[in-house]
């Protein structure tokens, strides 16, 4: 067994991807897409290029359709202009020697009528409003009450995922991650706190997982399984999400994703104080691909998790915001820049591309 933190800098084969180290840049919403088109621009390309030394970059969450948008100035992947904007990003990352996946996103009920086509209500498995806020032009505001999807509408959203996945390939990505975490649409279908349906998409664990599995199969029409993963947050409570018995639910999900031969399972291991106990190692046992751990890891905790075989890779969020050269800093055990929370969402290059590198 390798000692200390040296394991963080060892190569790893994840599905069809050869990664030079075990440090993953987590998906991070920054609200800096081009107004009007929601396409990435040169500023975004520079941001990702600066962080290309990560073993793998997972892009910020990117909506698969206008209906899938829940916050201002988040990028899309459903128009030719957006595909061209993302090509700026992937070219910049690849020229710097990096690897980048696109995170595919539909927010479901975590949206506002002002962002929806024709000012319509957001959609969800059930017409249950989330007690949370979204980020709009005037700041944070309550999300709108959703309407429940008719069963014949669900296939249309699955096809939106398929189109978005194909567009990600056109944009030059190395693969995709499906966003199934943090209380967004896939998570809303999975969890019984948000899904009160009585049809084939509700009730049993198998029924609630049906939408997630259909989305993955649609994405696999464009991508080999070795370039696809899914992110989950089994006991996270973001965006007013909850489940009465998450262990068997997510054990089942992990097993189904393993059967589909996905490259990785990316797990937000955050646990709320009143959450039921959860055994994350159970997911690792049930999933045959790579396990990416995420949630407030430090350099030392990440090395310990990998050395103890609890994870293959570890994803870092805020540390990559403030430290574009996080890999070099970890390798040198150097001091870290502090992230400026005031500049996380929206704005210009300040707090985005102006964090200093070592030296």
Catalytic residue numbers read 184
Region at 187 (left for phi over 0; alpha for psi -120 to 50; beta for the rest)? alpha
> Distances from the Cα of 228 to the Cαs of 8, 57, 155, 179, in angstroms?
22, 13, 20, 11
Distance CA 321, CA 309 (A): 27
Cβ-Cβ contacts under 8 Å for 151 (sequence gap 6 or more): 199, 200, 201
User: What is the spatial distance between Cα 136 and Cα 116, in angstroms, rounded to a whole number?
Assistant: 12
Report the C-alpha gap between 148 and 185 in whole angstroms: 12
List strand residue ranges (DSSP E) for the chain, in order. Answer: 12-14, 17-19, 23-25, 56-63, 100-105, 123-124, 133-136, 139-142, 147-148, 176-179, 228-232, 264-268, 290-294, 313-316
């Amino acid at each position: 067994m390798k000692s200390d933190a040296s394991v963080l800098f060892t190569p790893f084969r994840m599905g069809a991807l050869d990664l030079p180290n075990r440090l993953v840049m987590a998906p991070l919403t920054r609200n800096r897409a081009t107004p009007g088109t929601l396409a990435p621009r040169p500023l975004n390309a520079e941001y990702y290029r600066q962080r290309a030394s990560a073993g793998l970059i997972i892009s910020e969450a990117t909506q698969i359709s206008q209906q899938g948008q829940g916050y201002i100035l988040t990028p899309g992947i459903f128009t030719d202009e957006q595909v061209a904007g993302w090509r700026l990003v992937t070219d910049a990352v690849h020229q710097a020697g990096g690897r980048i996946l696109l995170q595919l996103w539909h927010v479901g009920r975590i949206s506002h009528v002002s962002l929806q086509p024709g000012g319509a209500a957001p959609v969800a498995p059930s017409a249950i409003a989330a007690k949370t806020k979204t980020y709009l032009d005037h700041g944070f505001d309550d999300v709108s009450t959703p309407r429940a999807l008719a069963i014949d509408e669900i296939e249309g959203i699955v096809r939106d995922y398929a189109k978005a996945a194909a567009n990600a390939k056109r944009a030059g990505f190395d693969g995709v991650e499906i966003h199934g975490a943090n209380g967004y649409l896939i998570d809303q279908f999975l969890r019984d706190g948000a899904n009160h349906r009585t049809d084939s998409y509700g009730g049993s664990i198998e029924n609630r997982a049906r939408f997630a599995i259909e989305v993955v199969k649609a994405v696999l029409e464009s991508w080999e399984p070795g370039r696809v993963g899914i992110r989950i947050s089994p006991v996270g409570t973001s965006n007013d999400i909850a489940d009465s018995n998450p262990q068997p639910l997510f054990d089942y999900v992990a097993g189904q994703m393993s059967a589909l031969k996905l490259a990785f399972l990316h797990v937000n291991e955050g646990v709320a104080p009143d959450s039921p106990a959860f055994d994350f190692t159970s997911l690792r046992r049930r999933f045959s691909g790579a396990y990416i751990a995420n949630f407030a890891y430090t350099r030392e905790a990440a090395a310990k998790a990998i050395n103890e075989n609890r994870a293959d890779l570890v994803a870092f969020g805020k540390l990559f915001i403030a430290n574009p050269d996080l890999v070099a800093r970890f390798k040198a055990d150097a001091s870290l820049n502090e992230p400026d929370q005031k500049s996380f969402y929206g704005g210009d290059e300040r707090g985005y591309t102006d964090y200093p590198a070592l030296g």
